[in-house]
Amino acid sequence: MVANGYARTYQTQAILTASPGQLVLMLYDGALRFLAQAHAAFEADERDFTRIEVINRNLLKAQNIIAELQGTLNHEAGGAVAANLDQLYDYYNRRLFEANFKKDLAPVIEVERLLGILRDAWAEMLQRTENGTASPVGGIRSVA
């Protein structure tokens, strides 16, 4: 139990000291983690009736994170990039709603793949920005 407290304290400090770009990366990671948990629950034994609850809970958590990502978009500064991300996030949430409603794994796999690509691109952009080889992308407001 003490270890859990230390882990929570570490996580809180990591969030409080992260840059806005790192916070976005943490959101991507969180959404992907919840999608992976939903994915695993889809593949669990169908006789385990708690799996439906696990699927629902994790898909809703992923959708909430995607909604937060969508809410951080700054359309004035981001222009076409922000508009495209807004459409992508809307699509992801619609697909996850469909997956949850129909209890269909295919949309979860699709969103996992697409969100993973965005996450990796964001991580690369952060790395290049920190190394001074690229300028930051506009269109994202601080989520802090």
Residue 123, both tokens: 């991580």
Q: Sorting pLDDT into bands at 50, 70 and 90, what band is 66? A: very high
Q: Is the pLDDT of residue 125 over 90?
A: yes
pTM to 2 decimal places: 0.82
Q: Sorting pLDDT into bands at 50, 70 and 90, what band is 131? A: confident
C-alpha 92/C-alpha 67 separation (Å) is: 10
Domain residue limits, the chain: 19-131
Nearest residue to 62 (alpha-carbon basis) of 110, 18, 22, 134: 110
DSSP notation for 23-59: HHHHHHHHHHHHHHHHHHHHTS-TT-THHHHHHHHHH
Greater pLDDT, 15 or 58: 58
Running DSSP on this structure, what letter comes out for residue 76? Answer: H
Summary mean pLDDT of the chain: 88
* Architecture of the domain made up of 19-131: Up-down Bundle (1.20)
Residue 9, both tokens: 């304290």
| CB distance 41 to 55 below 8 Å | yes
Running DSSP on this structure, what letter comes out for residue 101? Answer: H
